[in-house]
Structure 1
Amino acid sequence: MLAFCAACAAVPATAQELALPSEARQLTNRVNPLDSYDLPIAVWDGSSVPSREVQGRVAKRTWRMSVGSKTTLQVFASLRDQIESQGYDVLLDCSAEACGGFDFRFATEVVPSPDMYVAIRDYRFLSAIRDDEVLSLLVSRNPPDAYVQIISVTPTTVSPLDVVQGTETVEASKPNFAASLETAGHVVLGDLEFETGEDALGTGPFLTLADLANWLKQDGGRRVALVGHTDNIGLLERNISLGQRRAEAVKVRLNKEFGVALDQLETAGAGYLAPIASNATSDGREINRRVEAVLLPIQ
């Protein structure tokens, strides 16, 4: 374990020093004065992601920006260059498949949707160290937008009371899961994965389901419709049925694993009638294979 000295002087979070494009909109800016983070230092090895536990002031920040036709690597490279120019030594620099694809993504800490989006086949990851500071960078795209996550850990000074109470400060407005659902009326459960033609839900953990379950269980009158969406491979009727089965799989998981009452959940299938990306590309089809939670009137 790489431990940071609690008596060290506080250092500004590295994420604040990186220059993002002016059109980047910050979604998350959450800082804990004393916490731990498992920093990935190697790719998925077949059973886990080798990591190093680091302790200190942990800052988790995400951004969304419109990038048009820019690739994930183009967005990633400019930030990587800044990190290297600041004297960081890169420990790990990999792309989706080389990192370990699905396995790496779900063994690595990621801010939950809708504040971070990761396309399993289109992301880049970097971890780096400079003296007793570390950071990780994760970039992915949901065309025409790119999402950026930076987690940084720096030496910190906290009072004993802060440690006992687990004080956490939010340094900027964070549109959380519940706020997004209540404001927009729907939210994509963005960390679920469905292959073409499949309705089986992976083992998880799926943080969006935990967030949705927590929100529903706070008030037994709250209800959502789980709507399954597909890519455009195959006939419409079959895709509507597939979307319905995917929504049912999510409903079962929410009920059995998270204890959400069945009368708070409805399901429907939309097939390929409401795409959020182009079905002309494999990345777009992957994005369209999704389940959304749609707000229903309170009973």
Structure 2
Amino acid sequence: MLYLLSLLVLTVFAFADISRLPKKDVRGSQDHPAVGRVEGSRIANYTVKDYDVLRVPTKIDYGWGRIKAFKELEGKVTRIYYLVPKGLSPAAVHKVYRKELSSKGFKVIYECAPCTRSNATLFMELINKLGEPKWDALPPRKLNFLFMRGSYKDKEVHVALYTYTLSGMTQIKLRVVESKPLNLGLKVVKAEEIEKSIEERGSVSIYGIHFDHGSAVIKPGSEKTLKEIARYLKMNPKARLYVVGHTDGTGSYDYNLKLSLKRAEAVVRRLVKEYGISPKRLKAVGVGPVAPVDTNRTPEGRARNRRVELVEM
């Protein structure tokens, strides 16, 4: 088992009172090997999902406790709830994790210590905007937050750490995301399949063009799909297409409408610049979340709704 060690913890822990802590971790739980724990703390709740979506804040208004921006991550998500020995403050725990993770090559994306003067507002923002489970009937106090990115066993790993006091005890909500795109069992669509679908239905959904959350920059790994779209257009020199961007239901309507258009425009630019397709044959359109093909209530459904669609003009 890995432990976080620092002079700070060793100094304070000598005076720590663990009488209120459980004697053992909850059954079936364990530390995440990329992170570890503060010595003496106990796991009170533990869940792992092979695939899930996690939202974490990237900007919090100190005065009002509003979450101004957040990042959505997908992959294997581990959630661990620790109870900490008396005598260790949220700020102290925050510093220990930051130091330990930094020593492992993790970089800070965002942090606040403390995050706000309005813990009650932030508490509700975490629940309503980010989908965090309700921690308690009362809001936490002295809330600190740390968001870092690094790697573990050749995988990109994000660590989100909430430290706070509740019922007079320092507590930790740890979230670890090991990046892993949802496998929908979808293969790269071939030019011949694009041709058949457009002839029969007038459109085809494309899932092989990838973007980061909130981004309109096409990610590496999308080239095979773009090549097949270009091949279809060269096989059918008279074909003209609407390139339609679709998003899931996360975020506001206006935000998704703009994002979907930017993504469609990025696809058109790539086809024109890298594959020599005439811009007169393509028109980018963004429809945001208004034409889903599945529910937005599940990660799988949202993944199917995020797509590019080719529609015959």
Shorter-chain TM range is: 0.3 to 0.5
TM-score, with length taken from structure 2: 0.40
Pair member with larger Rg: 2
Larger RCO (alpha carbons 8 Å, 6+ apart)? 1
TM-score, with length taken from structure 1: 0.42
